[in-house]
């Protein structure tokens, strides 16, 4: 394995005295993540200069812009603790001087190899990922690592506890930080001003108690849920698959062709729906499951604009509901199985619009017990995050990877960094499963429209 050297470690805080001591209660959306799940996102940038150049010319602005961004996103510098005022409640606590650990490293590894689309073992990427290490009895909510590949590239790895916020929240922080660094500003350039007002989240059905029970259920299922592989001891490989814009348009045309001329497709046939439905169908087909088995796809949905009243877009925290699509394997392996998978996914999402995003939320503990052994495909990320627009002044990333999917067997999704209008999917499975999926994925793109 290539040598990786730690060059520096430092703690970065919001500017001294800029944020008062603050305790932010966790809502029923937040407590779902108390078991410690993190989102690890790697941004790879081309960089054709020396490590010394980065340290002396770029790192000072990188650190100062981080401090300025943390002034507005200060919960990321804090930690979670039990609430002193209410039993079974928790809060994010920040006090002046709380900080984020930033590690600077240098690697001799092959940058092009690590940032490629081909299968790469978890061992090759693990050294690039920081850990949220307990300090003074408290677990931090964010850790950062920059790895310089001299004259080739830079990898910025951001590990954030899901307790702190969902993808909408954390990408707002990352984009604000990047914009501040890019402009070398003396004040933060905010993508969207963050809001921390927890009174915006109401809980008339006592979902706080329901979700506390859910995390207890999660704790009992953690071993099963974290081994979403046929052979848990196999080495996990990351691989990236891209659907080009013309592939997506052909998939949409294939769906349209199912309905007679003049008939309306009975669900919103979006790029997200056809892309995820196609990947789901390929994955199920590659596994060779019995036709009578039920296949599941579950994913989180941003609930901000779907609640009544709506939650502002800048709300910082978790505000996610759960959507589940299911279909018999026999239907998916049929000749028109891809269309059926897309249709099942589209109707599940449309059902949330009609029934409300929190309908059935009190049944989640039972649902997760049911799904524990079913290897559902779940989704991390969203093309709406526009991760490939994250520019710190070094240019746009050549690759963005969500490595935390290795824990669950989920797939990551983003806009394509290479194909305008396309979608990029990241998978983390043992090599033989990656190979089987790739065969189905490639063969299925030979789409013929009736």
Instruction: Go through the chain and tell me how many residues it has.
Output: 450
26 touches 123 (CB < 8 A): no
153 touches 46 (CB < 8 A): yes
202 touches 398 (CB < 8 A): no
Q: What distance lies between CA 337 and its chain's CA centroid?
A: 27
In the chain, how long is the greatest CA-to-CA distance?
67
Q: For residue 25, give every residue at least 6 positions away whose Cβ sits within 8 Å of its Cβ, in sequence order, or none.
A: 83, 89, 90, 91, 198
Helix residue spans in 204-264 (DSSP H):
207-225, 245-258
SS3 301: strand
Query: Which tokens is 434 given?
Result: 């990656």
SS3 404: helix
Q: Which residues have a catalytic role annotated?
A: 162, 391
Residue 379 Cα distances to 178, 201, 273, angstroms: 25, 24, 12
Whole-angstrom Cα distance, residue 255 to residue 70?
A: 46
What 8-state DSSP symbol labels residue 201? Answer: S
CA angle 413, 416, 422 (to 5 degrees): 100
Go through 114-132 and write b for each residue having 16 or more CB atoms within 10 A of its CB, e for each that does not. bbbeebbeeebbebbbbeb
Go through 265-294 and write b for each residue having 16 or more CB atoms within 10 A of its CB, e for each that does not. eebebebbbbbbbbbbbbbbbbbebeeeee
């Amino acid at each position: 394995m290539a040598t990786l050297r730690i060059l520096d470690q430092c703690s970065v805080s919001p500017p001294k005295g800029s944020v008062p001591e603050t305790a932010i209660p966790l809502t029923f959306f937040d407590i779902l993540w108390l078991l410690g799940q993190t989102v690890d996102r790697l941004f790879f940038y081309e960089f054709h200069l020396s490590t010394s150049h980065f340290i002396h010319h770029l790192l000072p602005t990188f650190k100062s812009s981080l401090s300025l961004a943390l002034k507005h996103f200060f919960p990321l510098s804090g930690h979670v603790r039990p609430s002193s005022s209410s039993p079974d409640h928790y809060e994010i606590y920040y006090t002046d001087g709380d900080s984020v650990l930033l590690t600077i490293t240098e690697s001799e590894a092959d940058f092009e190899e690590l940032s490629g689309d081909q299968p790469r073992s978890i061992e090759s990427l693990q050294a690039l990922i920081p850990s949220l290490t307990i300090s003074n009895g408290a677990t931090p909510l964010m850790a950062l690592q920059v790895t310089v590949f001299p004259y080739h590239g830079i990898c910025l790895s951001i590990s954030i506890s899901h307790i702190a916020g969902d993808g909408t929240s954390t990408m707002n922080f990352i984009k604000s930080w990047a914009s501040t660094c890019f402009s070398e500003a003396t004040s933060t350039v905010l993508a969207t001003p963050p809001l921390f007002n927890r009174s915006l989240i109401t809980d008339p059905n006592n979902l706080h108690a329901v979700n506390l029970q859910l995390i207890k259920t999660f704790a009992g299922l953690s071993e099963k849920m974290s081994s979403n592989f046929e052979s848990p001891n196999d080495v996990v490989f990351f691989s990236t698959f891209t659907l080009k814009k013309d592939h997506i348009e052909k998939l949409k045309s294939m769906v349209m062709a199912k309905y007679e001329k003049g008939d309306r497709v009975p669900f919103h046939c979006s790029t997200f729906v056809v892309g995820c439905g196609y990947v789901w169908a390929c994955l199920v087909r590659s596994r060779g499951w019995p036709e009578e088995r039920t296949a599941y796809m579950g994913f989180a949905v941003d609930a901000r604009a779907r609640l009544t009243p709506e939650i502002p877009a800048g709300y910082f925290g978790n505000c996610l509901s759960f959507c589940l699509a299911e279909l018999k394997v026999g239907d998916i392996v049929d000749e028109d199985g891809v269309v059926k998978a897309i249709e099942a996914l589209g109707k599940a999402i449309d059902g949330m619009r009609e029934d409300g995003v929190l309908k059935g939320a009190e049944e989640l503990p039972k649902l997760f017990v049911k799904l524990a052994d079913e290897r559902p495909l779940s989704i991390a990320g969203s093309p709406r995050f526009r991760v490939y627009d994250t520019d710190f002044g070094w240019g746009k990333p050549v690759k963005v990877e969500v490595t935390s999917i290795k824990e669950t067997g989920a797939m990551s999704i983003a806009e394509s960094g290479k194909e305008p209008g396309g979608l990029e999917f990241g998978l983390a499975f043992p090599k033989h499963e990656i190979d089987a999926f790739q065969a189905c994925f490639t063969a299925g793109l030979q789409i013929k429209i009736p």
